[in-house]
A and B are shown apart, each in its own frame.
Chain A
């Protein structure tokens, strides 16, 4: 079974704080993805990575950065959190040769 874990289920931060969300997978998948989920908007891709130290912007990268120093770990960074970044953040992984993505449980972030 694929296991994708996210560092926190719930997080409360203040405006301007630097926020780290971490995702870890145990299946040796090449691809890792960060999405945010908002009511009525579905899932929107923020960033993805297809290899260690590689990253590509998704549909809504503004205000975010990512880091992938090890294959199993993909971090999403909010350099200076803002209230409009209050959302559910979902990490996903997948093999480069396959289309299926496997999701973590999500982190619900509240920025005050």
Chain B
């Protein structure tokens, strides 16, 4: 069965510092991988996704993620964090369901705090 692990529950970074959020997955085939962000009290917004091709994908708000098959990882990075990046971040893996198309399996999330 597929699973997604986000090892860090909370991360604190200073504004302007670089950021890396970790995501590891377990899935038999080539996965479809996603990062979503959730601001306080809001729904989830798609940051970026990987389906195939170039293993470094660019997303919105200056985020990027790198797919590493050998490490079963899809870590999210940003070179310089802004205070507005404080939010909860979810990694997800998609799998093909014979009836519905694709279903997503989410990690438990990483809460990012940005300090001045």
Contact = CB atoms under 8 A, between A and B. Distances in A.
A3 to B, nearest CB: 11
B11 interface: no
**Max chain A Cβ within 10 angstroms of own Cβ: one of B44, B46, B94:** B44
Interface residues of B, number: 24
Contacts of B9: 40
Interface of B: 9, 32, 34, 36, 41-46, 49, 51, 90, 94, 99-104, 106-109
Given A48-B100, A100-B46, 10 more contacts: A40-B9, A42-B107, A43-B90, A50-B99, A92-B44, A94-B102, A95-B101, A98-B101, A101-B104, A108-B41
Given A42-B106, A43-B106, A103 B100 contact: no
Given A41-B108, A42-B109, A43-B90, A99 B102 contact: yes
22 contacts: A30-B101, A31-B100, A31-B102, A40-B9, A41-B108, A42-B106, A42-B109, A43-B44, A48-B100, A49-B100, A54-B99, A56-B99, A56-B100, A90-B44, A96-B101, A97-B101, A99-B94, A99-B101, A99-B104, A100-B49, A105-B43, A106-B43
Interface of A: 4, 30-31, 33, 35, 40-43, 45, 48-50, 54, 56, 58, 90, 92, 94-106, 108
